[in-house]
């Protein structure tokens, strides 16, 4: 296959996904690029290490006392672009004309009354409070079985629910059932644009929370949930029929994830951070 140069819309997620701890293989599969292409891009940026918005974030914090996450800066730049601005032209990476991709997202339709992640409070980006959740689904063998996954952005506390189908009504029902007991710890939820979340208004109303949707083809905007799903796949590889997985097996995985010390969280476990419960390490 002939090599084609990476576009600006591909280079940004490479940086964010790598920073979030994803492997080169995962990034390559997400962007439908060869691992060698991703490797070259990461090597090319080894000396610089970060992209321009991250440098801007550091500068603002050090010299202006303003704290902004670099993902927030990306969103502001692209919001300015959508409104006709030219801030995007001043980014370090050379620009190429963006070719709109027609395909899966357009065929799936659009979700009624969705609120863009652009309107999500900046506080959520900082991961400083408990209660900002990311939600997603993992599809099993032959697309006939589904897991609904939740992760709290600050603590990495994870919930997994097995579903009979991917229908929006069932997803909404399951979401309310599992999160209602934690209602006081549900401040925001961020989804992708899957139509299984079309009944988001029911979820928002029952849980009295605000729901936001990431941009299409932007997995880095929900990178924590994507990363957790990758860990879940270590236990339930692609091709697994979730209908054949017991609730006990799912609970085992949930306990493993929530009792695992996280380097990015000061060596504490999600259970310690979310529930305030000190946990003992479990043998592998």
Q: Which residues contact 79 (CB under 8 A, 6 or more apart)?
A: 118
How many domains is the chain built from?
A: 2
d(CA 79, CA 88): 10
Residues in the chain: 284
Residue 124, H or E segment: helix 122-126
The 3-state DSSP class for residue 212 equals: strand
Q: How far apart are the first and last CA of the chain?
A: 41
| pLDDT value of position 93 | 46
Q: Are residues 73 and 172 in the same domain?
A: no
| pLDDT value of position 84 | 72
| pLDDT value of position 62 | 65
| pLDDT value of position 9 | 54
Q: Are residues 68 and 118 in the same domain?
A: no
Q: Are residues 190 and 224 in the same domain?
A: yes
This prediction's pTM: 0.64
Half-sphere exposure of 230 (CA within 13 A, CB side): 17
Q: Are residues 125 and 159 in the same domain?
A: yes
| Tens of pLDDT, residue by residue, the chain (284 residues) | 455 677 655 665 676 666 656 778 877 877 778 888 888 877 776 544 444 566 666 656 665 666 766 667 767 776 666 677 766 665 654 333 333 343 444 444 589 999 999 999 999 999 999 999 999 999 998 788 899 999 999 999 999 999 988 999 999 999 999 999 999 999 999 999 999 999 999 999 999 999 999 998 888 899 999 999 999 998 998 889 999 999 999 999 999 999 989 888 988 999 999 998 766 554 44
Q: Are residues 80 and 138 in the same domain?
A: no
Nearest to 124 by CA among 12, 210, 231, 21: 210
Provide the residue range defining the domain that includes 234.
Answer: 112-275
Q: Are residues 134 and 76 in the same domain?
A: no
Given phi > 0 = left and psi -120 to 50 = alpha, else beta, which region is 32?
left
Q: Are residues 116 and 85 in the same domain?
A: no
| pLDDT value of position 203 | 97
Q: Are residues 83 and 182 in the same domain?
A: no
Q: Are residues 137 and 238 in the same domain?
A: yes
Q: Are residues 208 and 126 in the same domain?
A: yes
């Amino acid at each position: 296959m002939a090599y084609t140069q990476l576009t600006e819309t591909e280079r940004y997620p490479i940086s964010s996904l790598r920073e979030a701890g994803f492997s080169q293989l995962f990034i390559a599969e997400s962007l439908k690029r060869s691992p060698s292409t991703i490797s070259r891009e990461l090597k090319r940026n080894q000396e610089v290490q970060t992209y321009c918005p991250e440098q801007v974030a550091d500068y603002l914090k050090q010299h202006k006392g303003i704290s902004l996450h670099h993902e927030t800066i990306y969103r502001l730049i692209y919001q300015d672009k959508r409104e006709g601005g030219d801030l995007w032209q001043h980014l370090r990476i050379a620009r190429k004309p963006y070719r709109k991709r027609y395909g899966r997202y357009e065929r799936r339709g659009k979700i009624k009354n969705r609120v863009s992640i652009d309107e999500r409070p900046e506080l959520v980006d900082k991961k400083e409070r408990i209660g900002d959740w990311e939600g997603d689904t993992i599809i099993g063998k032959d697309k006939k079985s589904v897991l609904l996954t939740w992760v709290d952005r600050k603590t990495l506390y994870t919930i997994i629910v097995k579903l009979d189908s991917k229908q929006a009504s069932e997803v909404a029902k399951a979401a309310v059932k599992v999160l209602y007991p934690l209602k006081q710890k549900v401040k925001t939820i961020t989804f992708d644009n899957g139509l299984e979340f079309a009944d988001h208004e029911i979820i928002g109303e029952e849980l009295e929370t605000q729901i936001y949707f990431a941009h299409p083809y932007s997995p880095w905007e929900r990178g924590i949930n994507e990363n957790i799903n990758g860990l879940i796949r270590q236990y339930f590889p692609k091709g697994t029929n979730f209908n054949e997985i017991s609730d006990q097996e799912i609970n085992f995985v949930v306990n493993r994830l929530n009792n695992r010390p996280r380097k990015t969280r000061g060596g504490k476990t999600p259970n310690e951070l979310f529930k305030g419960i000190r946990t003992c390490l479990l043998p592998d």
